[in-house]
Chains A and B, each alone.
Chain A
Amino acid sequence: MQLGELLLVALQSVRANLFRSMLTMLGIIIGVASVITMLAVGAGARGAVDKQIEALGAGLLSIRPGQVFQMGVAKASEKLDIDDVTALLTDGATVAAAVPERSGMEQIKFMNQNRNLRVVGTTANFAVVQDYSIDAGRMFDAADDVAKRAVVVLGAKVPPMFDETAESIVGKTIYIRGLAFRVEGVFREKGTTGFRNVDEQAWVPLNTGRYRLFGTTALDLISVKPMRGVGMQQAIVDIERIMRREHQIRPGQNNDFSIQDPRQFLDFQQTAANIFAYLLASIASVSLVVGGIGIMNIMLVTVTERTREIGIRKALGATRFSILVQFLIEAMIICLLGGAIGVLLGLGVSRLLTAVAGWQATVSLTAIAMAFGFSAGVGLFFGLWPARKAARMDPIAALRYE
């Protein structure tokens, strides 16, 4: 018996019991929709995290002043300073670059407009290490730093606050804490990195900030770029060793600083997306199994209902194999139809998640192929037993069945 003929018979039978078949498909539909959404959310979350990692700059470690406990009382320490940076650069075998930062919220005035913005004092290598690029003008250099010149580089969103463009504001004067600063350059837009909008900041040379604005030598951040090929853990160990030596921390005493990998908090997001994906995966597997059992049940009913038909077909020359294939195809058609509807539903849910939750849920062709594979597999697995039952019927007993 030809395949086309078998398909035709199976299709007619599904159509003859359309409502029943649709109900049976429900489990498969939900299962496949979950598979599609799961894969879409997984891919989307990975994409989003990758983007944020990119925005954070490739693999920098942050050293921040920690807390020291004196007689049980926590006391903020201000022990991070430029000597630490020097020590890290000279003694840190794993350290490729170190960028100190000191920042504070400052009143910024341009013409007659006032803004309260974060001003960051840092060294000239900041732009290179943190992967910032200049949109207009230039980044201040080491000479500016040494000479404590009153120069500033602005974040991309700052000029528009004062109704200026990146090009137009370069060379003009802004006032920080009443002191005149010359705008040397404007950074290209960076996007939000986690908590802070870095495009709404201003950068001044470290020494300028230290002597003219903040009045302190204390740093609140040192970003360290490890050497190529050095693992984060290895770099952390190396940095900790140098910092403890510099701060004269005796063995057994706690660090008065902390070293963080900023990617850590991304792990949390990834974990959240993973949990959601696992949840969907369990829904998917449960509903595929339940759907499969539904298919098996309905196929058993169909086989029993059509016992006489099976007897007639056998009497007219149907082999066991052709009966088996006939009912298997029928089960698989129900599953694949359910799969197709499930794919559509999954596409809809993924769109909805993108629109409502803002997740980039992307449905790939692989996911669709996988979903169809799953439903065909379910049809094959759960359809096999009923089909085998049909194939093994005794022809005369089947013909006598009322």
Chain B
Amino acid sequence: MSTAGEPVITIRGIGRSYAMGDAVVHALRGVDLDVARGEYVAIMGPSGSGKSTLMNIIGCLDRPDTGEYTLNGRQVARMGDSELAHVRNREIGFVFQTFNLLQRATALRNVELPLVYAGVGRHERHERASAALVRVGLAERMHHRPNELSGGQRQRVAIARALINRPSILLADEPTGNLDSHTATEILATFDELHAAGNTIVLVTHDDEVAHRARRIIRLRDGKIETDIAHA
């Protein structure tokens, strides 16, 4: 384990644009960002400002067109397929804005999936996934498929899945967007615990209250960082 304070995420001048027919959409234009181990960062900004794009790049799912991204001292651009797969599997837990659950699999099976790719045996996988679902209050819904679950329940499955492999970095794109205030508070409490345990958390939110649980708030506008404010 590394100690708190050393840089985990180092981003230098990254840009990402999409060609939409003749027009080019610049989702990110020259973002610099450093996140140290153990930090709790909230990213805010209007819709379309590039928050999800940035999260995808940090999560090693997307590659920037320009700039450099260094994760735990290694340049992501230089990583091969199996190395990237390993990083996505072990180091990063991703809660997607749209959940991205396997529709044909049960909640339990969905939560087990990262363990499957980590090569964990059937028995242990089952134990750990059930425990994770119990923790997010879905003990009764384990064997249901996503289309039999409410939006909030799906989100909790997604969170349980993101945390199952004990990732050192948790990325959450609007994790509380679909939750009632009670469940949201519980989820945020989980995040606080993870933070207290030394994990690095980056979350996207539109909710000031949620953002203020983080120690640092970054505001994006038109693909650029507008403000980056740390508070106590």
Contacts and interface: CB of A to CB of B under 8 A. Distances in A.
A319 B119 contact: no
**A309, A311, A312, A318, most chain B CB atoms within 10 A:** A312
Contacts of B100: 308, 311-312, 315, 399
A148 interface: no
Nearest to A399: B100
A147 interface: no
B120 to A, nearest CB: 10
Contacts of A321: 81-82
A316 B158 CA distance: 11
Contact of A399 (B61, B103, B113): B61
Contacts of B113: 312-313, 316
B118 A315 contact: no
Given A1-B117, A16-B104, A395-B61, A315 B81 contact: no
Contact of A319 (B62, B85, B102, B104): B85
B156 interface: no
A321 B80 CA distance: 12
B229 interface: no
A318 B117 contact: yes
Nearest to B86: A317
A321 B86 CA distance: 13
A12 B104 CA distance: 10
Contacts of B101: 312
A317 B104 CA distance: 19
A146 interface: no
**B101, B117, B119, most chain A CB atoms within 10 A:** B117
A314 B113 CA distance: 11
A12 B106 CA distance: 13
B89 interface: yes
A46 interface: no
Nearest to B162: A316
Nearest to B125: A5
A55 B60 CA distance: 78
Interface string A1-35: 11001000000100010000000000000000000
B56 A317 contact: no
Nearest to B114: A316
B15 to A, nearest CB: 16
B90 interface: yes
A1 B122 CA distance: 11
Nearest to B90: A317
Interface in A302-344: 308-309, 311-322
Given A314-B85, A316-B89, A317-B86, A396 B62 contact: yes
Contact of B119 (A2, A313, A395, A396): A2
Contacts of A320: 81, 85
A318 B161 CA distance: 15
Contact of B89 (A308, A311, A317): A317
A316 B61 contact: no
B217 to A, nearest CB: 25
A317 B117 CA distance: 6
**A308, A311, A314, A319, most chain B CB atoms within 10 A:** A319
Nearest to A392: B81
B161 A315 contact: no
Given A309-B102, A311-B100, A317-B89, A322 B117 contact: yes
Interface string B55-92: 01001011000000000000000000110011011100
B81 A317 contact: no
B139 interface: no
Contacts of B56: 396
Nearest to A311: B100
Contacts of A313: 113, 117
A309 B81 CA distance: 18
A312 B116 CA distance: 13
B94 interface: yes
A91 to B, nearest CB: 84
A315 B94 contact: yes
A52 B218 CA distance: 93
Contacts of A5: 116
B40 interface: no
B96 interface: yes
A399 B88 CA distance: 14
Contacts of B119: 1-2
A318 B85 contact: yes
A393 to B, nearest CB: 12
Given A396-B56, A399-B96, A399-B100, A316 B81 contact: no
B96 A319 contact: no
A317 B96 contact: no
Contacts of B161: 316
Given A16-B104, A399-B61, A316 B117 contact: yes
Nearest to A397: B62
Contacts of A396: 56, 61-62
A317 B118 contact: yes
Contacts of B89: 316-317
Interface of A: 1-2, 5, 12, 16, 308-309, 311-322, 395-396, 399
- Lowest 5 CB-CB distances: which A-B pairs, in order? A317-B89, A317-B117, A319-B85, A396-B62, A396-B61
13 contacts: A2-B119, A312-B100, A313-B117, A315-B96, A315-B100, A316-B89, A316-B113, A316-B117, A317-B89, A317-B118, A395-B62, A396-B62, A399-B61
Given A312-B113, A314-B61, A317-B165, 5 more contacts: A1-B119, A2-B119, A320-B81, A396-B56, A396-B62
